[in-house]
Amino acid sequence: MIEITAVQKSFGELKVLEDINLRIEDGDIYGLVGKSGAGKSTLLRCLNGLETYDSGSIRVNGTEVKELDKPGLRLFRKDIAMIFQHFPLMSRKTVYDNIAFPMRCWKYDKQQIDSRVRELAEIVGITDKLKMKPNVLSGGQKQRVAIARALSMKPQVLLSDESTSALDPGTTASILRLLRRINEELGITIIVVTHQMSVIRELCRNVSLLEKGRLVLSGPVNELFLSQPDALRRFMLEDDIPPDPRGEELQIMLTGDDNSQTILSRLARELQVSYSVAGGKIERYRDQQLGSLVLTFASEDISRVCAYLDAQGIVWHRYLPLDSGKLQEEEADA
Ligand code: ADP
Ligand code: MG
């Protein structure tokens, strides 16, 4: 288990992490999402001891990271591997030698290395590339090699810092599927740092949103989607729908069950109200389809509609424009 308590970190005058509190259970796939400069990479680097933190505590399976001495840190990092946006492979060495490199550093014997390299190549799907040099591989294949190398010491935790950000959408999807398989089949805890909400949706069970060094939200991804907190809406601003002046808008959350699939027709039939559709979307969250519809109702109908939705057990939100002051501040920062 990873327990982060009241962590603070500054670079000189610049406060980069403020009062971070976070708990990640073994076997989870946990997302850290936020805009560029929010402090995601710094937090990840504190976690594996590449950076120190000024105060607070980071415990990985009971070990306080900043109390580790050099040999302790070296051992610790065997258990906590990392992959990046750019795949720092050694260009003169073959794929095989790249994957074998950490095991050679730890003086594993030849046979052990050979069987482990082949096993890893199988897991990540590059068995036919072992004799090649990295420069002839595609971005996705290079990331697979980097993942195999990261797994070579049988880590308990894999940290991924924007590992799909340089890849096209199709390759991104295949790498995310691989990460999910690694989590499920090998039981490795994965922490995914990304600025892309789509990565969180596809892959993560739980997520925290970082805004300027502070954690503003944490929780299960599907629950946060259904409850639509402002901080999440602000982060996903491009998806936001402008308010419709002709009436009042409700956002109705769709969970894919029969009840939510038939709600619109029942609403119209049983309440005899009409509405217009202002926007909507349905997206995949790991194994679930979740969606929302923004509907405009006449103001005089709104309280009846809300009562009906409550009675039907449908999650809904009054769809109000986000606080414009906060938005301008966000835009000025971007
Ligand atoms: P993210 O990964 O969310 O984009 P980072 O953790 O890389 O954010 O950076 C957070 C802030 O800390 C940024 O303002 C960045 O410029 C600053 N920063 C990161 N690393 C250093 C460093 N080594 N020295 C000084 N400032 C840094
Ligand atoms: Mg970063």
Q: Does 318 map to a domain?
A: yes
Q: Minimum mean pLDDT among 43-47, 184-188, 313-317: which range?
A: 313-317
pLDDT at residue number 230? 87
Q: In the prediction, which pLDDT does 306 show?
A: 94
Residues 70 and 193 in one domain: yes
Cβ atoms of 226 and 255 closer than 8 Å: yes
Same domain, 200 and 272: no
pLDDT given for residue 31 in this prediction: 97
Closest residue by Cα to atom 10, ligand 1, is 39
Residue pair 245/299 in contact (Cβ under 8 Å)? The answer is no
The residue segments making up the domain with residue 192 are 2-226
Do 271 and 180 reside in the same domain of the chain? no
Q: Which atom of ligand 1 is nearest to the CA of 51?
A: 23
Task: Give me the helices (H) in 125-229, please.
Answer: 139-151, 169-186, 197-203, 221-227
pTM summary value: 0.87
Percent above pLDDT 70 for the chain: 93
- Tell me, yes or no, whether 247 lies in a domain: yes
Q: In which band, very low, low, confident or very high, does the pLDDT at 235 lie, cut at 50, 70 and 90?
A: confident
Take residue 77 and report the two structure tokens written for it.
Answer: 């990092």
Which of 168, 200, 226 marks a domain boundary? 226
Is the domain of 275 the same as that of 185? no
Asked whether residue 209 falls in the same domain as residue 246, the answer is no
Half-sphere exposure of 101 (CA within 13 A, CB side): 17
The yes-or-no verdict on residue 157 having pLDDT over 90 is yes
Q: Which of 212-221, 225-234, 280-289, 317-326 has the highest mean pLDDT?
A: 212-221
- Give domain status of residue 233, yes or no: no
Kindly report, residue by residue over 183-224, the tens digit of the pLDDT. Answer: 999 999 999 999 999 999 999 999 999 999 999 999 999 999
Q: What's residue 280's pLDDT?
A: 86
CA distance 253 to 26: 31
pLDDT at 328: 47
pLDDT at 326 over 60: no
Please check whether residue 80 lies inside any domain of the structure: yes
* Residues 104-111: contacts with CB under 8 Å, at least 24 apart: 106/78, 106/153
Q: What is the CATH number of the domain that holds 177?
A: 3.40.50.300
Residue 161 sits in the same domain as residue 79: yes
What whole-number distance in Å separates Cα of residue 276 and Cα of residue 171?
A: 38
Q: Is residue 332 part of a domain?
A: no
* CA–CA gap between residue 296 and residue 277 (Å, rounded): 6
Ligand 1 neighbour 41 (Cβ under 6 A)? yes
**Domain termination residue (choose one: 172, 201, 226):** 226
Average pLDDT, the chain: 91
- Residue 281: the pLDDT is 85
Question: Which domain CATH number covers 264?
Answer: 3.30.70.260
- pLDDT given at position 239: 60
Please, which pLDDT band fits residue 92 given cuts at 50, 70 and 90?
Answer: very high
Model confidence pLDDT, tens digit, residues 47-66: 999 999 999 999 999 999 99
Residue 333 domain-assigned (yes or no): no
Same domain, 84 and 186: yes
- Beta carbons of 64 and 58 less than 8 angstroms apart: yes
| Cβ neighbours for 66, distance < 8 A, ≥ 6 positions apart | 49, 52, 53, 58
Question: What per-residue confidence (pLDDT) applies to 315?
Answer: 92
Q: How many domains does the chain have?
A: 2
pLDDT at 208: 97
Instruction: Tell which atom from ligand 1 comes closest to the C-alpha of 44.
Output: 6
Q: Are residues 71 and 102 both part of a single domain?
A: yes
Are 175 and 51 found together in one domain?
yes
Identify which has the larger pLDDT, 42 or 86. 42
Pocket test for ligand 1, best of 7, 11, 86 (most atoms within 8 A of CB): 11
Give dist(CA 3, CA 106) in Å, integer.
28
Q: What is the pLDDT of residues 93-136, one digit of tens each?
A: 999 999 999 999 999 999 999 999 999 999 999 999 999 999 99
Report CA(228)–ligand 1 centroid distance (Å).
28
Same domain, 220 and 260: no
Do 189 and 59 sit in the same domain of this protein? yes
- Averaged pLDDT for residues 277-292: 87
Q: Which atom of ligand 1 is nearest to the CA of 161?
A: 2
Among protein residues, the one whose CA lies closest to atom 23 of ligand 1: 11
The verdict on the CB of residue 91 being under 6 Å from ligand 1 is no
The percentage of the chain sitting over the pLDDT mark of 90, rounded to a whole number, equals: 72
Q: What pLDDT does residue 240 have?
A: 61
Instruction: Establish if 235 belongs to a structural domain.
Output: no
Residue 101 falls inside a structural domain: yes
Amino acid at 201: R
Distance CA 276, CA 293 (A): 10
**Domain boundary pick from 184, 203, 226:** 226
Query: In terms of domains, do 305 and 168 share one?
Result: no
